[in-house]
Amino acid sequence: MSLPRTPSFRLDGRRALVTGGSRGIGLGCAMACAEAGAHVVIAARSADQVAQTVTEMTQAGFSVEGHPLDVIDLDAMRQYFADHGPFDVVVNSAGLARHSPAIDATPEDFDAVVSINLRAAYFLAQEAAKGMKNGGSIIQISSQMGHVGGIDRSVYCGTKHGIEGFTKAMAIEWGPRNIRINTICPTFIRTPLTEGTFNNPERVAWIKSKIKLDRIGEIEDIMGAVVFLASDASGLVTGTSILVDGGWTAG
């Protein structure tokens, strides 16, 4: 009898692009790929933040480089892929949130959120797929709000639901090329950008009442899902989402 063996979770010899990879969830994604053996390329708007992150990761012994990029600028994004690609793994963690009651949302806020969360995410995936001549894995950092609604989050929810939709369609089209595309959908994650939320005891109580595991998410909670979707361990997984939400969307 031939015993089955677990496909590798390693990413040795692969190149992984992480957008928004200089801080928060994006930094966790970059570190997850680096720890699994990938050469990581970090892209983010702040050149200083990118340089600092690259320095710290290099000093820690990881293979990494970084170059500033604003994913909203589609011409710059295409040039970025031409200059630094191709990539075996692309993780898109760039995003924006401007929350308000639906009745108060402005066209300016709508356009700003859609331009990065939906438009840039779409064309980033498109550009990534163009370079994946031998297959690859594209991972969109979406949100639990791509599966449910949320108070004061109508625009944000709309963009994340949109990501879930085009991910399924792209998976159907690109499957024959062995390009897998999936989403990771976190709940509220503690990062420097969300500390304001977690400084509000009432808001924390509400969040914990929705998370069945009764704790706030940490960046480390995302990292295993990234490695899984980037690696051969998820070789038959495409067009779907991993909900890292502590049970929020279970009911």
Q: Which residues are catalytic?
A: 156, 160
Whole-number Å distance between alpha carbons of 202 and 134:
50
Note if the bond before 186 is cis, omega within 30 degrees.
Answer: no
Give dist(CA 50, CA 38) in Å, integer.
18
Reference 222, options 251, 194, 191; nearest CA is 191
Cβ pair 227, 36 in contact under 8 A: yes
d(CA 89, CA 76): 19
CB contact set of 17 (below 8 Å; sequence gap of 6+): 40, 41, 43, 84, 85, 87, 89, 90, 91, 128
Cα separation values, 5 from 2, 9, 10, 231, Å: 9, 12, 14, 15
Q: How crowded is the C-beta side of 232, counted as CA atoms within 13 Å?
A: 9
